[in-house]
Structure 1
Amino acid sequence: MSTIEIEYCVPCGFLDRALAVEEAICRQFADHLNRISLVMGDHGVFIVRVDGEVVFDKADDDFDVDDIVRRVRPHVAGR
């Protein structure tokens, strides 16, 4: 079972993005998760971690919910 953390920038208004990613991950992997957490941040942050490992960072890649779900899959599927 895995733990997902979605850290998002509050001042930037990224809550909707974080909720969209949270919902998509829950729909795909609910049976494989212990917890999914939203973590409030600032300075433009939007990072998705699985068991502490960064699988998506807005600073490096364009935001795409489907791509983020694909990046999460190898870390949680089959556990």
Structure 2
Amino acid sequence: MSNVEVEIEYCVPCGFLDRALAVERAILNGLEGELDKVSLVMGSHGVFRVTVDGEAVYDKDEDDYDVDDIVRAVRASL
């Protein structure tokens, strides 16, 4: 089995923690058995990005925020 790592980087000053926790919970609920690590990374400057093994699958600057879409993007990259 490969070591699949998901990172959720979120802007602390923007108050995106709740959003990051919602995405983390949804990813774990749907894909827990297929992942090795899900981590929250504190950032700034408006960042909200989800990566799988270093490859961005969601970036708020490019994509609309939708938890289900983010989970689908993570699943598609596995």
> Could you tell me how far 1:2 is from its partner in structure 2?
1.0
Percent of residue pairs bearing the same amino acid type: 64
SS of the equivalent of 2:36 reads strand
How many residue pairs are counted as aligned between the two chains?
76
The residue identity in structure 2 corresponding to 1:44 is G
* Dislocated runs of 4+, deviation >3 Å: none
TM-score normalized with structure 2 length: 0.94
Let me know the Cα RMSD of the aligned residues. Answer: 0.7
Q: Is 2:66 the partner of 1:61?
A: no
Question: 2:43 matched to 1:41?
Answer: yes
Whole-angstrom CA distance in 1 between matches of 2:63 and 2:76: 18
Residue 10 (structure 2) aligned to one of 8, 11, 16: 8
Instruction: Name the SS of the counterpart of 1:61 in structure 2.
Output: coil
Q: Deviations over 1:30-65 (max 9, x none)?
A: 001110000000000000000110000000111110
With the length of structure 1 as denominator, give the TM-score of the two structures: 0.93
Aligned to 1:18: 20
Q: Which runs of 5+ in 2 are unaligned?
A: none
